[in-house]
Amino acid sequence: MSTRSVVPFGPHHPVLPEPLHLDLVLEDEKVVEAIPSIGFVHRGLEKLVEKKDFNEFVYVAERICGICSFMHGMSYCEAVEHIMGVEIPPRAKYLRTIWCEMSRIHSHLLWLGLLADAFGFESLFMQSWRMREKILDMFETSTGGRVIFSVNKIGGQRKDMDNSMIRSFLDIFAGMEKDLKELTGTFLNDGAVRSRLDGVGVLTEQQARDFGAVGPFLRASGVQYDMRTTGYAAYGDIDLEPITSNIGDSYARTVVRVKEIFQSIDIIRQAAAKIPEGDFAVPVKGFPKGEYMMRVEQPRGEACYYVKANGTKFLDRFRVRTPTFANIPPMLETLKGSQLADVPILILTIDPCISCTER
C-alpha cells in the first residue's frame, strides 16, 4: 500500500524566481493533490488608484509587472479612454500594436529560456535569452527603456517611432527569423527536450474551459480563443488566426508559444506596412465618469482591467485580473497524477508571473 506524504514546494525554488508555494500531497512519487499558497509579496497597487491622479496612475499600472509592462499601461489607458469617449489617432493604435507584439516575442523568448533552464539545457537557455536581448535593444531604441517604457498616456502615445526606425526593426526581425527557426527547432524536435514535455500535464479541452484557463495554456488544449481577434488597438486591421493545438500537454504549450513568436513577427510586418502618418496623441480634457472592463491578450493570456470612475481626478476602483491568477486553478488540475520530478516543468508551462498576480 502506498504511503501519503506532504512535500512543501517553494515559495523559494531554483526554477521559480518568484514566490509561489504548493503543498504537494504525494502517493509515493505521484502527486494526488496540490494546495496553492500565494500572497507572499502582495503590493496592493490597485488601492493606489484612490490616491493617484488618473493620468499619473499609468505609471503605477505599468509597474504591475516587468514583462508585460507595456500592455498593463496600454490596457489601463484604453479602459479610461473608453469611459471618456476618447478616440486615439490611428497611428497611436498601430504603435500600440507593434509594441504589444514586441512584448509578446520578448515574453515568449524569456519563457523558452526559463523552460530550457528548468530541464537543464543551459545552452538553449542562453540562446533564447541572447535573442530576447535583441528585442530589449529595440525597446530601448524606440522607448528609452528596457523594462518600464512609459510611452502610453491617456489619449495616445508619448513617443512615436519614425518610419526609418520601423524599417530597421523589420531588418532585425528578418535576421532573427533564421536563428529563431534553428532555436525553436531544437525545442520542438530534440529528443531530450521532448522526453520532458510529451504527455506531461495534460489538460483536456473540457478541463481548460471548466477551470478557466487562458492564453497559450488554453489554446494548447484546443480552444480557439484570443482577445486580439476582438480588434482592440489596431488588431481589427490585422489578419490573424488564434494558434491552437489539440494535444493539451506541456509540449503543445511549447508549440503554441513558438508559433506565436513567428505570428507576432508577421503582425509587426503587417502593422508596419499599414501604419498611417499623422498624430500619435490627442489632448484629453476633463475627468472620467463611468465604468469599463478592458480585456486584452497578454503573452500569458486574457487579462481584464476594470476601471470605475466618479468624475473626479481619483478613480473609485482599478482591478486587474491577470492571466496567471486565472491559470492557477487549471494548473493544479494538471499537477494531479503527475510525477514529483515533473512539477517544476508543469508550473513553468503556464508561464507564471507572480509579480502580476501579487499586483
Partner 1 sequence: MAETKLVAVDVQNLLEEATKLKSGGYRLVQMCSTRVKDGNELTYSFGKGYDLLHLRFTVGDSTQVESISHIFPPAYFYENEIHDLFGVPIEFMTVDFKGNLYRTAEKTPFKGGDSQ
Candidate list 35, 126, 165, 192; residue touching partner 1; CB under 8 A: 35
The least distance separating partner 1 from the CB of residue 40, rounded to whole angstroms, comes to 6
- Measured from the CB atom, the residue of 258 and 326 that comes closer to partner 1 is 326
The least distance separating partner 1 from the CB of residue 194, rounded to whole angstroms, comes to 30
The crossing angle, in degrees rounded to 10, of helices 90-118 and 250-274 is 150
Listed ranges 52-60, 109-117, 254-262, 310-318: which one lies at the site for partner 1 (CB under 8 A): 310-318
Query: By the 8 A CB rule, do 86 and 154 touch?
Result: yes
- Burial of 213 from C-beta contacts in 10 A (0-12 / 13-18 / 19+): buried
Site string for partner 1, 217-246 (x = CB under 8 A): --------x-x-xxx---------------
Q: By CB under 8 A, how many residues form the interface with partner 1? A: 37
- CA-nearest of 68, 40, 72 to 58 is 72
Candidate list 326, 335, 348, 353; residue touching partner 1; CB under 8 A: 326
| 211 lies in the binding site for partner 1 (CB under 8 A) | yes
Candidate list 2, 195, 206, 312; residue touching partner 1; CB under 8 A: 312
Query: By the 8 A CB rule, do 354 and 324 touch?
Result: yes
| 310 lies in the binding site for partner 1 (CB under 8 A) | yes
Q: Rounded to 5 degrees, what angle do the CA atoms 35, 37, 29 make?
A: 40
| 59 lies in the binding site for partner 1 (CB under 8 A) | no
The least distance separating partner 1 from the CB of residue 276, rounded to whole angstroms, comes to 22
Listed ranges 60-68, 237-245, 251-259, 305-313: which one lies at the site for partner 1 (CB under 8 A): 305-313
Listed ranges 23-31, 46-54, 108-116, 342-350: which one lies at the site for partner 1 (CB under 8 A): 46-54
- Measured from the CB atom, the residue of 34 and 281 that comes closer to partner 1 is 34
Q: Which helix (H) or strand (E) holds 8?
A: strand 4-9
Query: By the 8 A CB rule, do 200 and 119 touch?
Result: no
- Measured from the CB atom, the residue of 199 and 231 that comes closer to partner 1 is 231
3 state SS for 223-263: CCCCHHHHCCCCHHHCCCCCCCCCCCCHHHHHHHHHHHHHH
| 316 lies in the binding site for partner 1 (CB under 8 A) | yes
- Measured from the CB atom, the residue of 249 and 302 that comes closer to partner 1 is 302
Peptide bond just before 288 cis, omega within 30 deg: no
Number of C-beta neighbours around residue 12 at 10 A: 11
CA distance linking residue 223 with residue 353, whole number of Å:
22
Query: By the 8 A CB rule, do 297 and 273 touch?
Result: no
| 293 lies in the binding site for partner 1 (CB under 8 A) | yes
CA distance linking residue 353 with residue 29, whole number of Å:
27
| 60 lies in the binding site for partner 1 (CB under 8 A) | no
Binding interface with partner 1 (CB under 8 A): 35, 37-40, 42, 44, 46-47, 50, 209-212, 225, 227, 229-231, 293, 295, 302, 304, 306, 308, 310, 312, 314, 316-317, 319, 321, 325-326, 328-330
